[in-house]
Chain A
Amino acid sequence: VNRPLAQTEIQRILALVPWVIAHPGTPKTDLAARFGVSLDQLDADLDLVLMIGVPPYSPGDYLDVETDDEDRVTIRLADYFRRPLRLTPAEGLALLAAGRALLGVPGSDPAGPLATALAKLEAALDLPDVVIEVGDPEHLAAAREAARCRERIEIEYWSAGRGELTTRRVDPAVVFFALGAWYLGAYCHRAEAERVFRVDRIRGLRPTGEHFAAGESEFDAAEVFNPSPDDPRVTLRLPPAAAWVAEAYPTEAVTERGDGILDVVLAVSEPAWLERLLLRLGPEAQVLRPAEWTGLGAEAATRVLARYRR
């Protein structure tokens, strides 16, 4: 028995029936689109609805589903399913969180339909408000606008990994909030490849007036944080006190070595990132592979020490 699937269907029927009761004569194609199912699945759902009834289960005690010759659906005799099931705490929070987050994005209308929808939701369900802060870095609005109208821009960008300021012409594809910061995914003409930039590290942004064609920069926001296949893979041996690393960063493999010691494999795009991690973790964390980086932590520590000793 596949329980989650059964649950999904029950939940859909409990939403579908009150919708049809409130909107009699809705065409099947509209219903299928609204509830995200195929017409076959909708028919299967409606067949099931016909089997719902209450004692004494005489013909008039079952739900009545009627489909006219233009495939418009009406449901009758379902008084007990006239309203959908109330929202769970997770569902109430999900609507509020998504709504407040989007309202927090600079440029949203603070008095528009989203704001009034959330106010109605809070009032009708006695939901408390949640405060969501997504930040507003200086060049966010301009980056979003450039992505929206596909305009090439020139940015001055501070690369934290390399510690250098560069000027680049980029074709912005997506602007995305994740892990607490705003990112710009763009085709970079300097690197001649797609790159991800932190918007709060953009020091200057100038529109070029040039536009790029749709599809020239194919960027999948969901893949923004997936490591590039070319990034070197590093195997780290972590003492128990550093086991948090396995949870804080996307690991490709975690092997328990006993006594709480873990070996983890991480994709590392910038050696400076790994240096910072190693200095933070201390002498008990070791790079096992690749061989050329086994001394990276000791070299970084020596370099920093030189500064303290001069």
Chain B
Amino acid sequence: VGRVTDNPTRVERVLNLLALLLDTSHPLTRDEIVGEVSGYPAQASAYRRAFERDKEILRSMGVPITVEQVGDTGESGYRVRPEDYYLPDLGLTAEETAALRVAVSAVALDHPAGEGALMKLGSRTAPGQAPIASLPLVPVLAPLFDAFRRRAVVTFTHRGRARTLESWGLTSQRGHWYVVGLDHDRGAIRAFRADRIEGDVAIGPPDAFTIPDDFRPELHIEDRAWMLGTGEPTTVQLVVDAGYTDWIGPELGDDATVEPRADGSTLVTLPVVDRSAFRSFALGFLDHAEVLGPADVRADIVEWLETIASGPAGPA
């Protein structure tokens, strides 16, 4: 096993750049920095590019580089304020650090941030420990969490629509992450599944709102697809055969009723907003359930099944 260092001069140069930016008492211009830190190329265009790349690698790690105007020319001056850089002492006992280590080892996040956080606490995941839970952190969660922490308004695209949201909470329910808060366009509290957010999340200025003290994001999750949308709900009756009630699942909600019938089957009465989503739910039972009414909902299902039963639509 040989030396594992990749590009030692680059690593050394970036560490010296950071040491200088942290140690300086006043902002330094690029030319001042390049004149001090060894390892930059001599040619101006080359050292500018190298400096930009070094700044980028530091910023991508979360190093807070501040930029201020310096001198008469208004040139950019760079520094890292120690108070922005340093992780405060968390006062964790060895037992508490070990507990965090166990947690990060036990919960598979599909994201390197857990390992990165542990390293800063002088720890790492337990080698060979099999996780007991998988809870993937999708990339948009980090900016959503940051905005939630700083009380900043976020804008993003969700299912093709632009949304502006005061992020009042972040929650994971039944394996899905949601951001919950006041939707500016609708003037109402809404929850959005994080994995359905497309592209980047833009974060507004901090302290833009206050979150009600008693706000509980988990009470605003609507994961029943047939209740999504804005129309008036229709009350639908679905009969489910004996033995198939396990398929109904826990997600039916409080506004549904479930009554056992004499033949062992179960009558489910539930409000439905999105009829095609309800059709998917009802057909999930295959021939072990039947929509009793209302007549138009039943007719929709029959018509849908007839088009499938008559074979493939286009030329195969």
Contacts and interface: CB of A to CB of B under 8 A. Distances in A.
A282 B134 contact: no
A218 B243 CA distance: 33
A51 B12 contact: yes
A133 B312 contact: no
B119 A11 contact: yes
Contacts of B209: none
Contacts, number: 347
Task: State the 9 A-B residue pairs at the shortest beta-carbon distance, nearest first.
Answer: A180-B175, A117-B96, A91-B117, A90-B142, A83-B86, A89-B146, A301-B308, A90-B113, A5-B6
A308 B298 contact: yes
Given A97-B135, A98-B107, A80 B19 contact: yes
A302 B286 CA distance: 10
Interface stretch (B58-66, B68-76, B228-236, B254-262): B58-66
A224 to B, nearest CB: 9
A6 interface: yes
A55 B114 contact: no
B43 interface: no
Given A36-B127, A272-B286, 9 more contacts: A83-B88, A94-B104, A97-B172, A131-B217, A133-B174, A176-B131, A278-B308, A294-B316, A305-B306
Interface in A181-227: 181, 200-201, 220-222
A262 B237 CA distance: 36
B82 interface: yes
A7 B96 CA distance: 28
Interface of A: 1-3, 5-7, 9-15, 19, 23, 34-38, 40-41, 44-45, 48, 51-55, 57, 80-95, 97-99, 101-102, 105, 112-114, 116-117, 120-121, 124-128, 130-135, 158, 160, 163, 165, 174-181, 200-201, 220-222, 272, 275-276, 278-280, 282-284, 286, 288, 294-295, 297-298, 300-308
Interface string B100-144: 101110110101011011111111100100111111010001110
B42 interface: no
A179 B4 contact: no
Contacts of B2: 40
A81 B102 CA distance: 27
A7 B95 contact: no
B104 A98 contact: yes
Interface of B: 1-8, 10-12, 14-16, 18-20, 22-23, 36, 38, 57, 60-64, 82, 84-93, 95-100, 102-104, 106-107, 109, 111, 113-114, 116-124, 127, 130-135, 137, 141-143, 145-146, 148-149, 169-176, 216-218, 243-244, 246-247, 250, 279-280, 283-284, 286-288, 290, 298, 301-302, 304-314, 316
A282 B308 contact: yes
Given A163-B243, A307-B287, A94 B12 contact: no
Contact of A83 (B4, B87, B102, B106): B87
B80 to A, nearest CB: 9
13 contacts: A2-B6, A10-B61, A14-B18, A55-B20, A80-B19, A86-B85, A91-B114, A93-B137, A101-B133, A114-B103, A177-B134, A284-B314, A306-B287
A121 B117 CA distance: 11
A13 to B, nearest CB: 6
A93 B312 contact: no
Nearest to B104: A98
Contacts of B12: 48, 51-52
Contacts of B127: 36
Given A91-B117, A101-B135, A303-B287, A34 B124 contact: yes
Contact of B36 (A55, A126, A165, A298): A55
Most B CB within 10 A of own CB, among A89, A176, A276: A89
Given A87-B117, A102-B102, A128-B148, A133 B313 contact: no
B301 A84 contact: no
B97 A117 contact: yes
A80 B23 contact: yes
Nearest to A49: B15
A81 B2 CA distance: 28
B20 to A, nearest CB: 6
A6 to B, nearest CB: 5
B218 A133 contact: yes
A284 B310 CA distance: 11
Contacts of A82: 86
Contacts of B117: 87, 91-92, 94-95
A160 B246 contact: yes
A5 B6 CA distance: 6
A7 B313 CA distance: 53
A163 B145 contact: no
A86 B148 contact: no
A180 B307 CA distance: 33
A15 B57 contact: no
A301 B103 contact: no
